[in-house]
């Protein structure tokens, strides 16, 4: 297949581009580089041993989308482009709705116009309504939704848009993948997560402390109803996540319509457990301080990935220690990211 990857120079998109190529597909990247570096494209080309076509552009720009899709031959789109920080979305809801919702609507309109009707959408576990208890049941795809942040609500709104689109136009094929905290890096250490500004996610913050870019880690709350008072998350290796996208787009070849799958391990780790795992991987001590809770954070999010195993034939393979080891390999060899 020939696949357009929006946000393909970013953390998740770049790893998925490599997996697409490894599976024998063709990838074309669209990215505005607002949270990615053009150097990622050179790194991808080196790893893939080929030049990868890419365009700098915004999913809100219909003319740009027409130029890219008008090149013809596309079978599918993998849609990663969007804003993704929970805390930032609380502070800047208009920006998040404008990019994540309006931008996706623009993309879908231009896909329809060019006859490209297969989409794999990057969603999030933040769409779920999470119980405020120490041991909530793992979240299956039929668990109640009720996002607690503007970021999560933008993902949920886009999911509903896609569901309505498939109901109205039966020739559309849509896979919604709900992520549970992707971390790690490519085993080569050549590509990895390179966030602009202060990282909004835990493991990149820990890695930057370990490499000396930041003085210490801020732990947002130690009074949650969990085993050590810190938030519990289901961490997933980015390569496992990328491989799930290949299974998803190939699944859509066999099955039209709308599908939702969780991507996670089904195992949860606290903030303190993640710190200790990274200390084991890096040999570094991670200094931290406890600060107040961060708006929009849930105590526990844990996936039930059984549907993905049954329908996509996908299971996460790599554990938290492997995630931390690969992340440290990337961060220690690229202390300033791609710069």
Mind telling me the catalytic residues?
A: 151
**103: phi then psi, degrees, rounded to nearest 5:** -65, -40
CA angle 241, 243, 245 (to 5 degrees): 80
Say how far apart CA 101 and CA 158 lie, in whole Å.
6
Q: Which residues contact 32 (CB under 8 A, 6 or more apart)?
A: 56, 57, 58, 59, 81
Check residue 313 and give left, alpha or beta (phi > 0: left; psi -120 to 50: alpha). Answer: left
Say how far apart CA 190 and CA 49 lie, in whole Å.
13
**Calculated CA dihedral for residues 131, 140, 127, 34, nearest 10 degrees:** 130
Angle between helices 39-48 and 11-22 in degrees, nearest 10:
20
Say how far apart CA 83 and CA 93 lie, in whole Å.
11
Angle between helices 150-168 and 103-113 in degrees, nearest 10:
20
- The helix or strand, by DSSP H or E, that contains position 119, with its residue range, turns out to be strand 118-124
Say how far apart CA 161 and CA 158 lie, in whole Å.
5
- The helix or strand, by DSSP H or E, that contains position 288, with its residue range, turns out to be strand 288-291
With tokens 């109803």, the residue in question is: 225
């Amino acid at each position: 297949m020939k696949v357009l990857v929006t946000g393909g120079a970013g953390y998740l998109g770049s790893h998925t581009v490599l997996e697409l190529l490894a599976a024998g597909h063709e990838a074309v990247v669209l990215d505005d580089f607002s949270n990615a570096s053009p150097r990622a494209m050179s790194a991808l080309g080196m790893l893939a041993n080929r030049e990868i076509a890419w365009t700098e552009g915004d999913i809100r720009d219909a003319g740009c989308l027409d130029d890219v899709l008008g090149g013809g031959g596309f079978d599918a789109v993998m849609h990663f482009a969007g804003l993704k920080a929970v805390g930032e979305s609380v502070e800047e809801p208009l920006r998040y709705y404008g990019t994540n919702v309006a931008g996706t609507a623009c993309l879908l309109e231009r896909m329809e116009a060019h006859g490209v009707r297969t989409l794999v959408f990057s969603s999030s576990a933040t769409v779920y309504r999470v119980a405020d208890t120490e041991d909530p049941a793992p979240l299956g795809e039929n668990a109640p939704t009720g996002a607690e942040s503007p970021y999560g609500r933008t993902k949920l709104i886009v999911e509903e848009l896609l569901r309505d689109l498939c109901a109205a136009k039966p020739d559309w094929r849509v896979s919604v993948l709900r992520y549970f905290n992707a971390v790690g890096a490519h085993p080569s250490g050549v590509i990895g997560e390179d966030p602009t500004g202060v990282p909004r996610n835990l493991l990149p913050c820990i890695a930057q402390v370990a490499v000396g870019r930041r003085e210490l880690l801020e732990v947002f709350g130690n009074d949650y109803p969990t085993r050590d008072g810190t938030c519990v998350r289901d961490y997933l290796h980015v390569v496992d996540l990328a491989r799930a996208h290949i299974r998803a787009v190939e699944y859509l070849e066999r099955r039209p319509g709308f599908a939702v799958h969780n991507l996670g391990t089904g195992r949860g780790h606290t903030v303190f457990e993640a710190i200790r795992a990274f200390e084991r991987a890096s040999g570094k001590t991670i200094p931290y301080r406890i600060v107040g809770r961060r708006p929009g954070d849930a105590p526990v999010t844990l996936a039930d990935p059984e549907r993905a195993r049954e329908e996509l034939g996908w299971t996460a393979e790599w554990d938290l220690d492997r995630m931390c080891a690969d992340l440290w390999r990337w961060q220690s060899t690229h202390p300033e990211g791609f710069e």
